[in-house]
Chain A
Amino acid sequence: MIRFENVGMRYGAGPEVLSDITFDLKEGSFNFLVGASGAGKSTLLRLMYLATRPSRGLISIMDRDVATIPRKELPAVRRRIGVVFQEFRLLEHMSAFDNVALPLRVNGASESVIKKHVGELLAWVGLADHMDALPATLSGGQKQRVAIARAVIGRPSLLLADEPTGNVDDAIAVRLLYLFEELNRMGTAVVIATHNKSLVERFKHPVLHLRDSHLTTDDDDAWGAGLRGQQ
């Protein structure tokens, strides 16, 4: 599903924010991505959802070498990736319904299909009564659920979530994780970047640790080293 080989990333002439990143995530896998603030979690996710290209190394998404994907074929690959952004990135002038419908409209779905699927999904995340609400009128948790609904409406093969529980209390965070697990059982590979140690410990999934721009795995006992500074 996702393969990184010796990937390095730097912005401009600055130091590498990611160095020698190598990992291989299988289809249908579920992984947490942890690390201290500034460790490069968001940058790693941006590389995964094709928002930027690496300074060096090889990235393969869904068996496609990212460096060789023609520009006109990028949208088709991106439609198979759902993203929950850290700051939601909802369109403020659109209702919750239209925000969630956006990926379907971009994909050319008919309005009848959009109405059916979006309605069902918003009901599933508990926002059936807020379909017409603008983001500005929603709470942080509600915005989070709209963002999640938008990320999964296209039934992506890969779901990437950047701090999806950062704006909700523990109870809702657990519910969201159950929601992600349900998607995962339906075949979607999931990568969740989080600071929430208790959540990671509660849901037993493999963990990718980012520390000092390098990636380690569970076996390296980097969890403690990576998050120690935040506790």
Chain B
Amino acid sequence: MLARRLDLPLNRDPSTRFMPWMIGFLVYIAALALWGSLTLSDFANQWAAGLSGTMTIEVPVQGDEDTSDLQNRLEETLSIVRATPGVESALALPLIEMQALLEPWLGSGADIGALPLPRLIDVQLKSGAEIDIDALNRKLESTTGARADDHGLWRDRVIGYLRSLQVVALGIVIIVTGAAVIMMVFATRGALFAHRDTIELLHLIGAQDGYIARQFQTHALRHALIGAGIGTVMAMITVFGLGQAAAGLDVANSGQDGGGYLRWLAMAVLPLAASLISMVAARRTVMSALASMA
């Protein structure tokens, strides 16, 4: 199709001369938005998966109880939790780790054993296991006074925010696609007007509307492939550069995991999709316009 001879001198149209660059610019924006959307989706999934298999138990200090009483309640809580179906392991957070966590506020060398700080238990759940957090809390409240937290509220808020960002990014992709279609429609209309005499001639020598439309769609496909290719390559260079810049961050593992391959695949498909959309937009515009001609 790309090698098809064009009867209409569409390549000489001033109205379409900058079309590849305009498509390239739009595809560049769309590619970055698409990459961002897929990256956010991966982050949301990773965080959801990372937090869904864990739980934290807090054993608060009660009144003036001493350290040994708190330790006893901690041990009892550990026993209850470890006996709960679905729990893989339950470990009390060592005081030394708590000290390290609180060092920015309390300074080094603080005796946290003398402070009324709650003790924490890190719980790992078995894969796919679901704990009835309410039932566990009722049991802990009635025995040791501990309280379980599966991070659900925080997790839902963070993931909800990420999903919102993802929707915005997808919205940008849709808006950019719409802008490209509108641009292609107007450029095609301009070309139809510029070549109306030749189009009439083609009709008079027996050309079907589809024959004339193929001239425009071939031209649109060529321009779109060039522009979309340039835009996509530029976007790939950009995300690669961003990835390199963020290489030292934990969150910068995009491209290394399974989701990264999906993102690169989406980037590769984007120029083809953009070109096809441009081609269809041009064809439909021409067919619609020709239907109103003699």
A78 and B9: CB pair below 8 A?
Answer: no
On chain B, the residues within 8 Å of A75 by CB distance are 203, 206-208
The chain B residue with its CB closest to the CB of A90 is: B201
* Complexed CA–CA distance, A103 and B203 (Å): 10
On chain B, the residues within 8 Å of A89 by CB distance are 197, 201
Least Cβ–Cβ distance between A27 and chain B, in angstroms: 19
* Complexed CA–CA distance, A91 and B200 (Å): 12
B9 and A93: CB pair below 8 A?
Answer: yes
Question: Is A51 among interface residues, defined by CB-CB distance under 8 A?
Answer: yes
A91 and B206: CB pair below 8 A?
Answer: no
Residue interface bits A152-187, CB-to-B below 8 A is 1, else 0: 001000000000000000000000000000000000
B206 and A51: CB pair below 8 A?
Answer: no
Measured as residues with beta carbon below 8 angstroms from the partner, the interface class of chain A is 20 to 34
The chain A residue with its CB closest to the CB of B212 is: A106
B206 and A71: CB pair below 8 A?
Answer: no
B197 and A106: CB pair below 8 A?
Answer: no
A154 and B9: CB pair below 8 A?
Answer: no
Question: Is A102 among interface residues, defined by CB-CB distance under 8 A?
Answer: yes
Residue interface bits A67-81, CB-to-B below 8 A is 1, else 0: 000011011101100
On chain B, the residues within 8 Å of A94 by CB distance are 7
Q: A51-B200, A53-B294, A89-B201 are in contact. Are A106 and B12 (CB under 8 A)?
A: no
Since A75-B208, A91-B198 are in contact, a sample of 10 more A-B pairs with Cβ atoms closer than 8 Å, ordered by chain A residue number, is A49-B204, A53-B294, A75-B203, A78-B203, A78-B204, A89-B201, A102-B7, A103-B206, A105-B5, A106-B208
B-side interface residues toward A, CB under 8 Å?
Answer: 5, 7, 9, 12, 197-198, 200-208, 211, 291, 294
**Shortest beta-carbon contacts, A-B, top 10:** A79-B206, A93-B9, A78-B206, A106-B207, A75-B206, A103-B205, A75-B208, A89-B201, A106-B206, A106-B205
